[in-house]
Amino acid sequence: MSHMTEEKKEALIKRYGSQYTTAEPRSKRSKRGASGSKGPGRGMAGAKPKDAKLTIRRLFAYLDQDKLKMFLVFICVLISAVTALAGGYILRPVINNLADPHLSAAAKANGLLMGVVVMALIYLIGVLSSYLQMRTMMNVSESALYHIREDLFHQIQRLSLRFHDTHTHGEIMSRFTNDLDVVSQMLSNTLPQIFSGVVSIIGTLVLMFYTNWILALLVIVTAPGMALAGGAIAKRNRLYFRQQQQSLGAVNGYIEEIVTGQKVVKVFCHEDTAIEEFDAISDDLHGKQIRARFFGGIMGPVMGSLSQVSYALAAVVGGILCLTANFDIGGLTIFTNYARQFARPINELSMQVTTIFSALAGAERVFEVMDADPETPDPEDAIAICSESERVEGAHPIKGRVTMENVSFGYTPGKPVLKSVNVTAEPGQKVAFVGSTGAGKTTITNLINRFYDMEEGKITIDGIDIRNIRKDSLRSSIAMVLQDTHLFSGTVMENIRYGRLNATDDDVIAAAKVANAHSFIERLENGYQTMLKGDGANLSQGQRQLLNIARASISKAPILILDEATSSVDTRTEKHIEQGMDHLMENRTTFIIAHRLSTVRNADKIIVLEHGGIVEQGTHEELLARKGRYYQLYTGKIELD
């Protein structure tokens, strides 16, 4: 067992169990080793939704298209509940018939047989109704989930990069998994159970009053006690359920982070500390799970015991009424059954409270994403652009002259990343950005692509403000090779073709040759048809980057951005692809963000950024001659992170 202090244990649970929310871009968080990814169970809704009425209206709007099916479901639920009550009531005449001393044995047998047949027919109708209700409700709920999931995914594609930078992958994934799972459970099971429970309670009360109003009042008197007991248990259950979900999220989040960073754990001999921390939060989960499951499990026995009290009182008083007030034996029999069953729908309804709150809170989280502001729409008069070599009808051909005029920008208000930056890149020029981490190098490329919109100044391409260019056209005119490679599940050829979907196989092979990736691809088991899975886990980091470069090469974009494209490639591989990179940059306006200053020596212009501003610019030789900031970085007197 862990000997960790309670303060440290609570800090761990809060860190890994709470939602990770920040306005800082994820790329910056990752550089400091922060992990915001959610494990299974994190984000599970345990608290009440903020606006239950609005969430219910929006959720039920997805059921509107299946109104007829929903009507059929409720009819089936009604029939099923009524047949369950009616089937029990048939016992009254059957028992009275058997207890009547004036009837012959043959008459009693006929009455018994008739009663059994009627009960069988009634219960058969109930079974068929239940089956039809389950099948129909399953179709309705799955159809609603299909449209919710589809709308959510479409919205994810429309959201800006700012949203994705400020929300972890796990947090977004939890909307598709945990949140939609509890919504599915509510739609397919809870809604029919609620309606069935309400019908059962009302029907049972009606039949009890019809059978004997005195006994009905007696049972109703005991109902508040049952409701209070059930409410108290449900309240404690919700409290411990929320605590359990937070602790479960902490355990899963910690496991995910430690497993992902296992190499770092071993490098720094952190195994014992990791075990101690895991034991602490695992012990906490263990205790909270016991409490949550205990209070969840005692609901049935407690309500069942209270219903036995009602049953006993009804039996005693009913027996007295049979002796003194001509109350029939059959009536007493069915009434005691109703008295015992009266607690069941109440118990079922109380057990659904947690599911309802969880589902509504989960749906609310889904709708929050759907309501997030999408990317700024293009103006109505936005134009399309294209390369001069690849003219497109209706598009304005560009040479690739990029100008930044007094550009200022910050990811969060009051914290500028760029301050009045002025840069001009002529068509075909290679412009490199260097500087310390956080100087604003990558931010410039984000602005050129309009992943973010600048606060002040403007960026133009061939004199056209990029805010007046359609985003899809702008981004298709800019090819990027990022530091973080990402390969999709599919063949090598499909991954390269991702840069231009209409490219032929010959185009793909030519692009691979430009990137000097052709030779290693040919050595793969199935060449260009080799399947890649797990983000290209069967390739080396250098090979993945070569495919990334080939993907950019196949694009006909007149502007190229290399964001530390060779930082993850060893020196030998870097030399191997230099010629391919030169071919890639031919006749393209190229922006280079370099970790290794040796890769920018041949740039036409080198921009040195510090604290969001330009401190130096010129060629490699000019900047070395000045012996300024670039000289310090290049000679290693000040380390470039």
Which amino acid is it at 577?
Answer: I
Q: Maximum distance among all alpha carbons in the chain?
A: 124
Q: Per mean pLDDT, which of 283-292, 482-491, 615-624 is the most reliable?
A: 615-624
Higher per-residue pLDDT: 638 or 40: 638
Candidates 383, 388, 425; CA nearest to 404 is 425
The pLDDT assigned to 424 comes to 92
- DSSP 8-state assignment for residue 154: H
Mean pLDDT score, 415-419? 87
Calculate ∠ Cα 586-587-589, nearest 5°: 100
Q: Which CATH superfamily is domain 48-370 in?
A: ABC transporter type 1, transmembrane domain (1.20.1560.10)
Residue 39 has pLDDT above 60, yes or no: no
The pLDDT assigned to 1 comes to 46
Percent of the chain clearing pLDDT 70 (strictly above): 85
Reduced to 3 states (helix: H, G, I; strand: E, B; else coil), residue 501 is coil
The pLDDT assigned to 54 comes to 85
Which of 24-38, 430-444, 465-479, 601-615 has the lowest average pLDDT?
24-38
Q: Give me the helices (H) in 271-328, please.
A: 271-324
User: How far apart are the C-alpha atoms of 166 and 174, rounded to whole Å?
Assistant: 15
- DSSP 8-state assignment for residue 389: S
Per-residue pLDDT tens digits for 554-584: 888 889 988 876 665 566 666 666 666 777 7
Check if the beta carbon of residue 16 is closer than 8 Å to that of residue 254.
Answer: yes
The pLDDT assigned to 567 comes to 60
Report residue 321's pLDDT band, with 50, 70 and 90 as the boundaries: confident
Report residue 38's pLDDT band, with 50, 70 and 90 as the boundaries: very low
Mean pLDDT score, 324-332? 84
Per-residue pLDDT tens digits for 68-96: 888 898 899 889 888 988 888 888 888 88
The pLDDT assigned to 170 comes to 64
Q: Which is it for the CA torsion 569, 573, 578, 584, positive or negative?
A: negative
Mean pLDDT score, 31-39? 36
Residue with tokens 């700012």: 162
Which of 23-27, 99-103, 251-255, 515-519 has the lowest average pLDDT?
23-27
pTM: 0.69
Residue 502 has pLDDT above 90, yes or no: no
Beta bridge partners of 415: 412
> What is the bridge-based pairing of β-strands 613-618 and 456-461?
unpaired
User: How far apart are the C-alpha atoms of 354 and 377, rounded to whole Å?
Assistant: 40
Provide the b/e sequence for 275-311 (b: ≥16 CB within 10 Å). Answer: eebbebbbebbeebbebbeebbeebeebbeebbeebb
Reduced to 3 states (helix: H, G, I; strand: E, B; else coil), residue 196 is helix
Residue 37 has pLDDT above 80, yes or no: no
Report residue 168's pLDDT band, with 50, 70 and 90 as the boundaries: low
The pLDDT assigned to 594 comes to 76
Report residue 426's pLDDT band, with 50, 70 and 90 as the boundaries: very high
Provide the b/e sequence for 173-208 (b: ≥16 CB within 10 Å). Answer: bbbbebbbbbbbbbbbbbbbbbbbbebbbebbbebb
Residue 30 has pLDDT above 60, yes or no: no
User: How far apart are the C-alpha atoms of 242 and 191, rounded to whole Å?
Assistant: 22
Report residue 354's pLDDT band, with 50, 70 and 90 as the boundaries: low
Candidates 194, 142, 171, 135; CA nearest to 36 is 171
The pLDDT assigned to 402 comes to 93
Beta bridge partners of 432: 592, 606
Beta bridge partners of 613: 610
Check if the beta carbon of residue 26 is closer than 8 Å to that of residue 166.
Answer: yes
Which of 301-310, 391-400, 497-506 has the lowest average pLDDT?
301-310
- DSSP 8-state assignment for residue 540: -
Q: Six-digit token pair at 494?
A: 């499909």
The pLDDT assigned to 44 comes to 42
The pLDDT assigned to 351 comes to 66
Mean pLDDT of the chain: 80
Q: Per mean pLDDT, which of 160-174, 542-556, 565-579 is the most reliable?
A: 542-556
Check if the beta carbon of residue 521 is closer than 8 Å to that of residue 552.
Answer: no
Calculate ∠ Cα 393-503-389, nearest 5°: 40
Q: Per mean pLDDT, which of 99-108, 382-391, 498-507 is the most reliable?
A: 498-507
The pLDDT assigned to 66 comes to 86
Beta bridge partners of 412: 415
5, burial (CB in 10 Å: exposed 0-12, middle 13-18, buried 19+) = exposed
The pLDDT assigned to 36 comes to 37
104, burial (CB in 10 Å: exposed 0-12, middle 13-18, buried 19+) = exposed
Which of 198-207, 228-237, 359-368 has the lowest average pLDDT?
228-237
DSSP string, 546-591: HHHHHHHHHS--SEEEEESTTTTS-HHHHHHHHHHHHHHHTTSEEE
Residue 637 has pLDDT above 90, yes or no: no
